[in-house]
Every structure is written in structure tokens, then in C-alpha cells.
Structure 1
Amino acid sequence: MTEWDIKKLQILRTLSERGTVTATAEALMMTPSAVSQQLSNLAKQLGVPLLEAQGRRVRLTDAAHLVLRHAEAVFAQLERADAELTGYLQGEAGEVRVGAFSTAVPALVVPAVRELRQEYPLLEVRVREAEAAEAYELLLSGDVDVALSLAAHAPTARDPKFSRFPLLADPLDVALPAGHPLASAAGLRLADLSGEPWIFGGSGPWSEITLAACEAAGFVPEQAHSAAGWTAILAMVEAGMGVALIPRMAAERGDRADVVMRVLSANQPRRHVVAAVRRGAEEGRGVGRVVGALRGVAAARG
């Protein structure tokens, strides 16, 4: 395969535009002999004559014009590559991969992606749903660039491998069946539900959060049913099988006519959501823009 030399092609292109070796040399800040030597070497590389004498001047051969037609396409593509690389360096192009837990995807990640698409259409964000343990494994292995999790399941702030960024404190509301006696009670407190059958996961983060919130309110909840997904939990609440603590981000996606969501009047439990990146990666402009968009969406939620 022929070896193409971009620098020599640029000299040939300039000669085509300027018309003489002397003018070409002046434009490229070279000597005329250097221009002639480079073009002679290019002709040898390509195996075709590129110049022919025309009195005291030279003119491009048909082969040279053929080469330039293809070279123009190469130069155009290089210009596009240069522009895209500049965008990448400025955080306006490239790819950033985000790993996030299920309720954070529609509540935080998707709105952030929408904003970024408007401002930086060449910056592609790839999303992967992953719970905390998997998200940090993916982050450490380089399979994602940003991980979202609950603060309780994130690496500590002293972990030298990661940089953490607080996003929001997501309130936990109580889901009650529509006909429940406390569904419209004024000043509802979590302690008022101590005698109710509860629905929460058998293990894992949501079990821990529910147990901790209820214990802080002064009681241990009776687990009547176990489920990990919000759709299943809300369906059981709707059927009158028990009550549940629901993160507000999850409740927004699971409205049901026969479920009443109540904001607790005192000691509102919350779960804290954080983003994390490999330490130092926040200096990359693409990652920085994604983290900034996530923080902006979180701040807008209040």
C-alpha cells in the first residue's frame, strides 16, 4: 500500500493554490529548494510524476490533480477530527459512562442527559443501571466513569481511590392504602405506624434504611411482606397488605390511585445520594460536565 505523507501533500496543495515554488516556499516559510525536494520525494513515494516544466515555471500533472482530489477529502476529514478532538479536550465531545441505581436513573440521570444533549450534543452519555456494590466495582475497573449510590453504601470520603460529590437528600414518605384510618390524619409521624404490618426488602440497603428509620422513631417494624422492587411494594400497599417507606424519587414514577403518599410531619427520614468518580477523573472536562449536570438537577429538586 502506498505510504501517504500529509506534510508533503500540504506542500503540493499550497503549490496548486500559489502557482509557483517561490510563492509556496514563502507561504510555508521554507526555502524553494526544500519545497522542490519534498515534492520530488512525494513523487517517488507515489510512483507518478507530479510536476512538469512549463518554461521557467512548473505546472501540476494530471496525476497531481488526481492526488489532490483525494487529498482534499483527507484534509477535510482531518479538520473534522481536529474539531472533534478540540471538543473532546474542552469536554464538549466524547463519551462518559454512568452507573446508577434504579430510582436515580429517571430522577437524576435522564434529566441531566437531556440538559447535556442541548448544550453539548457531541458529548455522549451511556447509562448502566447498577446497585452500589456493582457500580463501584465497575468504576474501579474503568467500565463506568461516574457512579451514583446512596451515601451509606459509597466508599468513605477518605478512600484514596475515589472522589465523592453529594447530590441530594431524598425524603422518605409513607405509602398507605387509600382507605387506611391514618391516610388523612393530621401531623402523621412514623411512630404512629408502629403497630402496622410493614413491607420492605428481606435484606440489602432498603431493609437497612427502613429498619434504621423506624428504630430512630422508637420501634422495630413488623415485616409482613418482603419485596425489593417499588412496583411490587406499591402493589401490595394498594391491596391493603401493609404500609411502606418509599423514597420520593421512586414514588414519582409509581403513582397509584389507591395509594396515599404522606409526608411525615416530624423527623422526616432521608436517604443521601452521592456521585463518585475515580480520584482525579473529575479534572477531565467531560466527566466534570456530567457531574455538574447531575448536581444541577439535584439542586433543582431542592
Structure 2
Amino acid sequence: MTEWDLKKLRILRTLADRGTVTATAEALHMTPSAVSQALTNLARQVGVPLLEAQGRRVRLTDAARLVLRHTETVFAQLERADAELAGYLAGEAGEVRVGAFSTAVPVLVVPAVAALRRSHPGIEVRVRETEAAESWELLSTRDVDLALSLAPHAPVGGDPRFTRVTLLEDPLDVALPPDHPLAAAPDLRLADLAAERWIYGGSGPWSEITRGACEAAGFVPQRAHTASGWTAILAMVEAGMGVALVPRMVSARASGVTVRVLDHDRPTRHVIAALRRGAESGPAVSRVLRALRTAAERLAQAS
């Protein structure tokens, strides 16, 4: 029977994710030569070639992909074993590391942590603010246990490594200067703002969301100013420098601007929680996830 080396299998899986030996070495804090040697030894152990040269790069063989299909099942089961052992040893105690993008921290993560401190004080939640696209990468490298991101940047639904949970459908509202001619207009539509000067990020998820929503309404937004932080965006809107799409998670707490709900063709973004498949059976992680879902439900009801 083949002797499987979990460390080498993890290196192979990381290579499949990262694409190059150099990127794999950086992700695992190894040298490229150590990565190559480990994969050579793994191929010798399993008795089949795992890599083949492709120019200056390497690609996985069909045999390597077969090995990886079984590897995902093994790692998921090991996650379950870790989770059950942690529950047995720690009971209601434990540490859970949460990565979340900036707007989710005050309205979802903080209320969830506050509730857990009252109900389960033995569970320690460590919060790490991240970019939406970065959260699941930290989950993949085991730097966080639970990641909050936006749907376009979360792991795809069929990825065998992760479990996805939709926490919240977050509508997008329009922020207008208080004296804007359309601030009190009835039945406001996004298309009514086609000629406006828009404020949004130069790149990243919010730029994509703003452009996508406006294009779906039939126009390309004219970007007058670029900003990525909501404090800066809302300050510019308040000063009459333009208009902006703002997620309900932010607009519910905005002041100094007029926030209008779009009743027709309302754009929406989805907030996703992701965790490594199998880890959801851990008592501490499951309690944190439950607290986040409760916080999301309350936020949706309040808005």
C-alpha cells in the first residue's frame, strides 16, 4: 500500500492553486528547491509522474489531478477530526480567526463578537480586516478560520475545499447631496442619474459593482472622483461633488447626505461567509458562524 505524506500532498495542492513552484514556495514559506524536492519524493512514493515541464513552468499530470481529487476528501476529513478533537478538549472554549472586509466589520462581525462574549465567553474571536478578494486566500493558507467576502470574490460554489454560506443580500442605495434636485424626486431610478458625476473606486470590487449596476440600468457612469473609503466618498457627496452607490450596510449609518432607496431595478450585492470544508462541525467555528448569521438577519430586518 502506498505511504501517503500529508505535508507533500499539501504542497501539491498549493502548486495546483498557485501555478508555479516559486509562488508555492512563497505561500508555504519554503524555498523553491525544497518544494521541487518534496514533489519529486512524492512522485517516487506514489509511483507515478506528477509534474511535466511546460516551457519554464510545470503542469500537473492527469495522475496528479487524480491524486488531488482524493486528497481533498482526506483533508476535509482531517478538518472534521481536528474540529471534533477541539470540541472534546475545549468544550465551549476555543479561538476562531475571522477575516472580513471593512464594511462588514462594524455591522456584522462586531455585533456577532459582542453577542458571543455574553453567551460564550470562552470563545475568543480574533478579527482581521482584509480586502474582500483577500479573505478566502487567507482561508486557503489557513491564516483565518472563517472568511467574509463579496460573492464575486468568494470561492466558487463547486470548490471542494470550502463551504459557502450566504449571510446577507445587501441592497445598494444612492447617496445624493442634500440639495440635489432629485433628492426628493418620487420613484427615483438609477437611470435618472445617468448624466451625474459619479464617485467610486478606480479599481477593485466596488468599482466593478458600480459600473455593473449602472450599465445594467443602461448607461456608463461618468467618474468624476476616485475614492475607496466610505468616509471620503460620503464627504465628497455631502460637498456636492457627485453621487455614489452605497451599500445598505453603510448607508444605514450615513449622515450629511440624502440616501435614496431604489425601488426599481435595485442592485444588490451578496455577502458570503466561507470556511474550509469539514471545519463547520467544530463547535467554536459553528457558534461564530451562527452569531454572524443572527447579526445578518437583524441587520436585514433593521434596514
Look up the match of 1:229.
229
Query: What secondary structure sits across from 1:117 in the alignment?
Result: helix
Aligned position for 1:299: 297
Task: Deviation per CA, 1:53-102: give whole Å up to 9, x if none.
Answer: xxxxxxxxxxxxxxxxxxxxxxxxxxxxxxxx997657521100100000
Q: Give % identity.
A: 68
Match of 1:142 in 2: 142
Do structure 1's residue 155 and structure 2's residue 160 form an aligned pair?
Answer: no
Distance 1:95 1:250 in 2: 29
- The aligned amino acid for 1:275 is A
- Rounded to whole Å, the distance in 2 between the matches of 1:209 and 1:175 is 15
Q: In structure 2, give the amino acid aligned to 1:282.
A: E
Given that residues 91 and 123 in structure 1 are in contact (C-alpha distance below 8 angstroms), is that contact kept between their aligned partners in structure 2? Answer: no
Deviations along 1:8-63, whole A, 9 cap, x unmatched? xxxxxxxxxxxxxxxxxxxxxxxxxxxxxxxxxxxxxxxxxxxxxxxxxxxxxxxx
> How large is the Cα RMSD of the aligned pairs?
1.6
For 2:89 and 2:173, how far apart are their aligned partners in 1?
A: 43
Match of 1:175 in 2: 175
> Please, which runs of 5 or more residues in structure 1 have no aligned partner?
1-84
Q: Show the 5 A alignment for 1:111-122.
A: 111-122=111-122
- 2:278 matched residue in structure 1: 280
User: Would you say 1:109 and 2:109 are equivalent positions?
Assistant: yes
The superposition leaves residues 111-163 of structure 1 with CA deviations (integer Å, 9 ceiling, x where unpaired) of 11111111101101010000123212211111110000001111101011111
SS in 2 for 1:209: helix
Quick check: 1:164–1:274 contact (8 Å CA) kept in 2? yes
Alignment-mate amino acid for residue 299 of structure 2: R
Contact 1:168 1:299 in 2 (8 A): yes
Q: Is the 8 A contact 2:87 2:284 kept in 1?
A: no
Aligned to 1:92, what secondary structure does the other structure show? coil
> What SS does structure 2 have at the residue aligned with 1:132?
coil
Give the number of the structure whose alpha-carbon radius of gyration is greater.
Answer: 1
Instruction: Letter of the 2:289 partner, please give it.
Output: V
Mapped to 1, the partners of 2:93 and 2:252 lie a distance apart of 32
Taking structure 1 as reference, are residues 178 and 93 closer, same or farther at Cα in structure 2, changes over 3 Å only? same
Aligned to 2:287: 289
Q: Distance in 2 between matches of 1:181 and 1:238?
A: 14
Unaligned runs of 5+ in 2: 1-84
The count of residues paired between Structure 1 and Structure 2 equals 216
Q: In structure 1, the residue corresponding to 2:133 is in which secondary structure? A: helix
Shift of the alpha carbon at 1:283?
1.1
Q: Deviation of residue 251 (structure 1)?
A: 2.1
CA-to-aligned-CA distance 1:166-212 (integer Å, 9 cap, x gap): 00110110000000000000111101000101001111100000011
1:195 and 1:173 map into 2 onto residues whose CA distance is 17
Label 1:193 to 1:122 Cα distance change in 2 as closer, same or farther (>3 A): same
- Normalised by the length of structure 2, the TM-score is 0.69
Find the counterpart in structure 2 of residue 239 from structure 1.
Answer: 239
Structure 1 residues 75-224: aligned runs within 5 Å: 89=89, 92-224=92-224
Q: Distance in 1 between matches of 2:111 and 2:159?
A: 29
Q: Using the alignment, how far apart are the partners of 2:116 and 2:91 within structure 1? A: 11
Shift of residue 249, structure 1, vs aligned partner: 0.6
Q: State the 1:269 CA deviation.
A: 0.7
User: Higher relative contact order by CA 8 Å / sep ≥ 6: 1 or 2?
Assistant: 2
Aligned-partner residue type, residue 129 of structure 1 = E
Counterpart secondary structure, 1:301: helix
Give me the whole-angstrom Cα distance separating, in 2, the residues matched to 1:269 and 1:142: 33
In structure 2, how many angstroms separate the alpha carbons of the residues matched to 1:252 and 1:231? 14
